[in-house]
A = this chain, B = another copy of it.
């Protein structure tokens, strides 16, 4: 698969942050300064690279030319020293790449609370820059993996009036996933020419219905970052709104982020199922989303799915936990198209629907009959392997 995006180079190498020579340092370089938009974790405890990236995006008017990412160390809960480490890495990279320091961002993922091994990172910068290539995104996406079992990369091309534009999305994440306004690490590269305002609004819209609509364990990371870089190499008349192909670009971006979100769920720690929770006819959008997440995060619902057991009472109990107004006596529940609960009671079709739980993917539709708002959340089961992975993950 050709994942090159015109005007972008990338690389990924081992800097010795992880043991055993696994790749752990990646770089993306845009030959021209790129318009950037980002959403970061809403966790109140933000990693040093998140704090520093937020400040830089604000100061640089949204222009970014290079992004360095390490895995194996989150550089979170590392105090003032952690922020100084980010600044040192960016300064060192600025000298080697000959680009202004304020146009460089850093992201990190891995263990929390351990100081970043600064010399390993800065010492690897010459090799990292030397390895830059238009085909380097594969190496980059491997260098940002932690408990991921496969690299997550998706390519799209979209036609705007006369110009073909490329979009490449890269993500990592397999645990500590319930993004809430932002998400794990995800980087989208495009050669689109666009105003920063249009890019920001299109990106936020797409993130809301993709990364912000999945959960693996209800835990929100300190390092979540989703960043899009648009370098204009496609040469289209710069987009400023839906005209001139803006709507087509937004559609492609939404589709790309949704597919990336699914890849994250497919690689969820220990998961054996990919489940879509559809909440329909809720009183408000907030109620729809809250209740869908309650069901998606219930350990009892998730363990039942792991056991391929149609224990729908647990779904009802998870719905009922809500503080929103609902009427328990009118709720219907479907597994795919089979109605297992009608007016809050069993339909007798549970045994027929149970066969569907043996599939790798299925949809649970909950009809509250209480309004006309809806929401959709992607989730996974809770397996023995999730506990094994997370009780053994080294501090």
Chain A residues with CB under 8 Å of chain B are 43-46, 74, 76-79, 111-114, 175-176, 180, 217-222, 297-300, 303-304, 306-307, 309-314, 316-322, 325-326, 328-329, 331, 341, 343-346, 350, 382-384, 386-388, 390-395
Contact = CB atoms under 8 A, between A and B. Distances in A.
A111 B220 contact: no
A240 to B, nearest CB: 34
A390 B317 contact: no
Contact of A221 (B221, B303, B317, B394): B317
Nearest to A300: B219
Question: How many chain copies does the complex carry?
Answer: 2
Contacts of A392: 307, 309
A387 B382 contact: yes
Contact of A219 (B79, B321, B326): B321
A388 B387 CA distance: 11
A393 to B, nearest CB: 7
A216 to B, nearest CB: 9
Query: A interface, by DSSP: helix, strand, loop or mixed?
Result: loop
Given A112-B313, A383-B387, A219 B78 contact: no
A346 B114 contact: yes
A303 B79 contact: no
A113 B299 CA distance: 19
Contacts of A300: 175-176, 217, 219, 390
Contacts of A325: 44
Contacts of A113: 312-313, 316, 341, 345-346
Contact of A45 (B43, B298, B317): B317
Nearest to A217: B299
Contacts of A77: 312-313, 316, 328, 341, 344-346
25 contacts: A44-B326, A45-B317, A45-B328, A76-B313, A76-B316, A77-B312, A77-B341, A77-B344, A77-B346, A111-B313, A112-B312, A112-B317, A176-B317, A219-B314, A219-B321, A222-B316, A299-B299, A299-B386, A304-B393, A307-B392, A309-B391, A309-B392, A311-B393, A311-B395, A384-B391
A171 B176 CA distance: 34
Nearest to A82: B345
Contacts of A387: 303, 306, 382-384, 386-387
Contacts of A306: 387, 391
Nearest to A81: B345
Contacts of A350: 395
Contacts of A314: 112, 176, 219
A112 B316 contact: yes
Contacts of A297: 218
B390 A320 contact: no
A321 B221 CA distance: 8
Nearest to A218: B299
A180 B322 CA distance: 11
Contacts of A78: 345
Contact of A222 (B307, B311, B320): B320
A61 to B, nearest CB: 27
A320 to B, nearest CB: 3
Nearest to A305: B391
